[in-house]
Amino acid sequence: MFILVRRLQRLSRIIFLMAVTNTENIITVLWEKGLPFAAWRFPGQDGFKLIVQLSHQLKTFDIKALEKISGFVIAPFESTGTRQIYVLEPDLVFDEWPDLQTIKELPDFRSPGQTVPENVFWNRQTYMKKAEQLIKDLKTGKLKKVVLSRVIEKKLRKDFDPGASFELLNERYAHSFNYVFNIPELGSWLGASPEMLLKKEGDFIETMSLAGTKPARDIHWRPKEMEEQAIVTEFIRQQLKELQITDYKTEGPETLLAGNVGHLATKFRMSAGVLKGRLGELTARLHPTPAVCGMPKDKAYQYILHTEDHRRKFYTGFLGPWNLEGPSALFVNLRCAEFSSEVVHLYVGGGLTSSSVAEAEWEETEHKSKTLLSVLENF
């Protein structure tokens, strides 16, 4: 019986790879050439977009210049302090996979090899110590919530294929924003995010408060998760109030499924006209949200910089297409991984409040890591 199951698994993988050969080849060739590119798929959609930049120079902008930008936006977590965002320019734009020969004839920016990215990795003992100290600090009342993250290093399989992994991510996680990008200056990243930061479509603007995490097989929201999500919702209300925006509608909180976990989410929807000329300012106010940083935002941000030994880089930053054909949307960069030719670094975290339990928070990060591990371990 075991042998039969293994054979069926291998057959399933062969059939899957045959179905995505074109995707696999296109993404892999772009990746190996070192060409700056990004491919993505919106939640709940079958279609995708691919853009390629034909130069290695990457432009940077201030967040407040957002409305004037066209391309694929990538912002690090630290942009809350620097206000700097990167933009991948759309020299080539595809909404269906191009001919492979066309891609092979594009310029080659490859380097001798991707060096292993530097970072710090906490074992369970170190994480527990950090989490327990954080919970003690939260009980003093100076902070309401802080998001504690960690990085997991795994050896990259020799047969890893970025194109096949991107397609498998789309197959397994239909309700998240899935992307893959490779930019010589920034690195190679793959991710699946359920959290929208800002969306502009037609005459409407939408944002979302998302917090609380439970395994999809057992969703029962406790006061801790309800409190965590309410903090994010109130934060967004306050930002809109300070911008004198009162005419908006909300939906939720309701459960939003994202792969093997579920979250609590509340959506905010308003007319685009009330934010004309201020979308960049709203984005700067929202990033980083309490869902990925904490409250009060400035104090939580400083606490994170002091406590976490690793660099978050693009984890809990935001990214997405802006002023291209179709919706403009930025997503918080969650469930993401950074690649070299030898290893992959997975970034995971969770929000802690005074009622948190360190052991439960560790388990939450373990559950979150399975989103990408389930894909990477297949290739």
- pLDDT 10s digits, 108-161: 887 665 566 778 999 999 999 999 999 999 999 999 899 999 999 999 888 888
Count of CB atoms situated within 10 Å of the CB of 326: 12
Q: Which residue in 219, 217, 221 sits closest to 229, CA to CA?
A: 221
Cα-flanking dihedrals φ and ψ of residue 249, to 5°?
-115, 150
| Whole-angstrom distance, CA of residue 64 vs CA of residue 69 | 10
Joined together, the tokens standing for residue 350 give 């969770």
> Could you tell me how far CA 353 lies from the centroid of its own chain?
22
Residue 238 pLDDT: 94
Residue 258 pLDDT: 67
What ranges do the domains of the chain cover? Answer: 2-111+122-376
| Whole-angstrom distance, CA of residue 157 vs CA of residue 27 | 17
User: Strand 37-41 vs strand 49-52: parallel, antiparallel, or unpaired?
Assistant: antiparallel
Q: Do residues 75 and 88 touch, judged by C-beta distance below 8 A?
A: no
Residue 41 pLDDT: 95
Write out residues in the chain with pLDDT < 70, as ranges: 1-24, 111-116, 212-213, 215-217, 258-261, 378-379
Count of CB atoms situated within 10 Å of the CB of 352: 27
Residue 127 pLDDT: 97
Residue 160 pLDDT: 86
| Whole-angstrom distance, CA of residue 209 vs CA of residue 280 | 18
Residue 5 pLDDT: 38
Check if CATH label 3.60.120.10 holds for domain 2-111+122-376: yes
Global pTM reads 0.88
Across the chain, mean pLDDT equals: 87
DSSP code of residue 122: -
Residue 232 pLDDT: 84
| Whole-angstrom distance, CA of residue 269 vs CA of residue 206 | 5
